[in-house]
Amino acid sequence: MRIKRLHFLLLFGIVFLLWNFITYYTIVTKPKGADKERELTERLMSLEREMGKQLAENKKLLENLKLLKDIKDKKVYRSEEYLGTKDGILPILMIACDRVTVNRALDQLLKYRPSAAKFPIIVSQDCGHAPTAEVIQKYVVSHNITHLKQPDLREIVLGTPQKKFLGYYKIARHYKWALNQIFVTFNHSAVIIVEDDLDISPDFFEYFSATYPILQQDPLLWCVSAWNDNGKDGMVSEEADLLYRTDFFPGLGWMIEKKIWMELSTKWPETFWDDWMRHPEQRKGRECIRPEICRTSTFGKKGVSKGLYFDKHLKFIKLNSEFVPFTKMDLSYLAKAKYDEMFIKKVYSSPLLTGQQVKSGEQPQDKVVRVEYNGKDSFKKLAKLLGIMDDFKAGVPRAAYRGVVSFMLNERRVFLAPPPGWTGYDTTWS
């Protein structure tokens, strides 16, 4: 009711201001003479532009007020709301191109899928690669999956500096088309997105089923991901049921709702869509859920990154091997207020060690420790020393939450953290 009242007052204010503007421009400062008609037209056009800006600002204000109201209404979760998704459809969108090994990814999905009705599989294929299309068609016949073919296969014309990124341009174009099919053509309310070179864990569907209600209810969450960027074997604990909030958009097996896509689709970039999503203009302070142990891993060395990232990092990622009954667990600890209080207390109450002390295994009796960084260069130096990813995207370290990166080293929990009193990310860090 208060929102509606405020909306009315804002609209009344806008009308009042517009009336005064029009009066001023048309009566008080009206140009004299027909030869000044052009000047009057220009003034009216300027006024129209100002009106547009004011309306946009008012719309943004209303959206922020609604967000604050949602946070207030949903700041405390009831554990019974975490017992799994409601009856409904949660489709799997597989992005494919020219990998004939797509059968491996499809076999995994079919092996662990608990319900064909609840989790329909939709493969969207780009590239027009006939051998890959033949492989997918076999699954259309045998398992009734849906095979979509991206119709726009035109070559993208790029200048010399951008030509080496052609593959990334095509991927961004394909993602936009495929997600429009899911949310506009098929009108689904959410989707789990995978690529054609991913293995999945036995509890992949269980994980997304349990976290879907959390995503629906929490206005400060905008995705759930199966991926931990620092999830290498030896750098994660054996706690397969451990989940986190993160400020970093991970990708590589992720779920979003229709409302997020409708927000993003109107300004979707021509290339590097995942880095674009990590910018503050898109993220808007929202977070994702991610696991301690990855629920996906990639077997595809072939791709636009030419296999370099795979050899250096991806092939070392640990894939969860045990089934965790997430839908039967109380996940209320992931609620924003509760999680932040718990997380901050745990991080900053842990003993403070230097990076070298942690690396050499000193004070082994401390099973949870903290290493503090001060600035971009300090973080990168410590990250390299401790063996985690050292890059930033829009100032956010991979897998970070409130500037803190959590990982395992020498069989103990390590928090690479900023000093107490963290105030936000510096987007100039890169």
Q: Which residues participate in catalysis according to the annotation?
A: 274
Q: What is the distance between the alpha carbons of residues 283 and 286, in angstroms, rounded to a whole number?
A: 5
Q: Residue 57 is encoded by which pair of tokens? A: 């600002």
Buried (b) or exposed (e) across 77-90, using 16+ Cβ within 10 A?
Answer: beeeebebbeeeeb
Q: Residue 119 is encoded by which pair of tokens? A: 């989790």
Element containing residue 175 per DSSP (H, E): helix 166-180
Q: Show the beta-strand stretches assigned E in 318-411.
A: 352-353, 368-372, 392-393, 396-397, 405-409
Nearest to 55 by CA among 110, 11, 8: 11
Angle between helices 130-143 and 102-112 (to 10 degrees): 20
Integer CA distances (angstroms), 116 to 113, 123, 204, 208, 428, in order = 7, 14, 14, 15, 46
CA dihedral defined by 285, 280, 404, 324, rounded to 10 degrees? 60
